[in-house]
Structure 1
Amino acid sequence: MKADEARPGHGVRLIQKVSSGRAFAKVAPHVVPALDRAVHRLTRGKVLLSARMLPGVILTTTGAKSGLPRRTPLACMPEGDGTWLLIGSNFGRPGHPAWTANLLAHPDAEISWKGRDIAVRARLLEGEEREEAWAAALRFWPPYAAYQARVERRIRLFRLTRVNA
């Protein structure tokens, strides 16, 4: 599935406008992941509420400091070649999200994608590859530009690739 095919159709502009705001950035990090975790668990991995806005995965990483498994519901951009792009926007808040530090320390991870668990390896994108991915992410979900404009840090982008079992 290409990124443009994965984007929801109706009400997208309104959702993008709301999600670009500072109020959303204050509330969403506390509400959206908790709801996603609960619904994902209740539906045995088949439903993510936030996927009504954007495609999503549950990312399981190894904690950078703790070494413990960490499960994080995230929006993602599925790429046409069976890879996924993760954008560490943190809803436009100042710090990098913890899951990005986890992937930097331990790039082997797992995602739950449409009810299937898939082993993946993450790679931080840099240089021209990052710029191309960032441009694609902005076409896919324009509010990422508002998130970047609010923060001094450079938003981290990771490409997840399947690890053959």
Structure 2
Amino acid sequence: MSERLQRNQLVIDEFRSAAGVVGGDFEGVPLLLLTTTGARSGEPRVMPMTYLADGERLVVFAANGGRPNHPGWYHNLLADPAARVEIGTEAFPVTATVLEGSERERLWAQQLVRTPYFEGFQERAGDRRIPIVALTREA
């Protein structure tokens, strides 16, 4: 297991054992766990990530730390937009929608105000425009 996967697993374990509260780099940051279905493997994939609440939706950003490629979870959602979210002690199904246009720009601007270091992610990503995904809770 890579160092990055090990780190994510530690965050996931802490999140689940402490009712969604995580310390360290994530202390005080809105955090959720997103479970997608692997596009190639068909296996569940869990990823901790920050989010922005937008009304009833949760919005996540495929920044991938500014790397030149989209994160795996984004590719998984493109292949199958049905996913599962955990926030605190609650878990529920969601459907993912990639946001475009003025809606994307509005949410990106909100994220930059709340989390200014995301601007650096976009700079490092170069020509790759960071996708923004809305997660809508299923009934």
Relative to the length of structure 2, the TM-score reads 0.87
Q: Which residue of 2 aligns with 1:128?
A: 102
Choose from 59, 67, 77 the match for 1:93: 67
> Over aligned residue pairs, what C-alpha RMSD do you find?
1.9
Task: Report whether the alignment pairs 1:157 with 2:132.
Answer: yes
Q: Which residue of 1 aligns with 2:46?
A: 71
Choose from 55, 62, 68 the match for 2:30: 55
Q: Which residue of 2 aligns with 1:138?
A: 112
Residue 62 of structure 1: how far off its partner (Å): 0.7
Structure 1 CA distance for aligned equivalents of residues 71 and 97 of structure 2: 16
TM-superposition CA deviations, 1:60-110 (whole Å, max 9, x none): 11111111111111111122x221110111111221110000111111111
Relative to the length of structure 1, the TM-score reads 0.74
Partner SS for 1:96 = coil
Higher helix share: 1
- Correspondences of 1:38-49 after superposition (within 5 Å): 38-43=13-18, 45-49=19-23
Structure 1 CA distance for aligned equivalents of residues 10 and 102 of structure 2: 36
Q: Once superposed, which parts of structure 1, at least 4 consecutive aligned residues long, lie more than 4 Å away?
A: 28-32
The number of aligned residues is 135
TM-superposition CA deviations, 1:22-43 (whole Å, max 9, x none): xxxxxx9456423212213433
Residue 133 of structure 1: how far off its partner (Å): 1.3
Higher strand share: 2
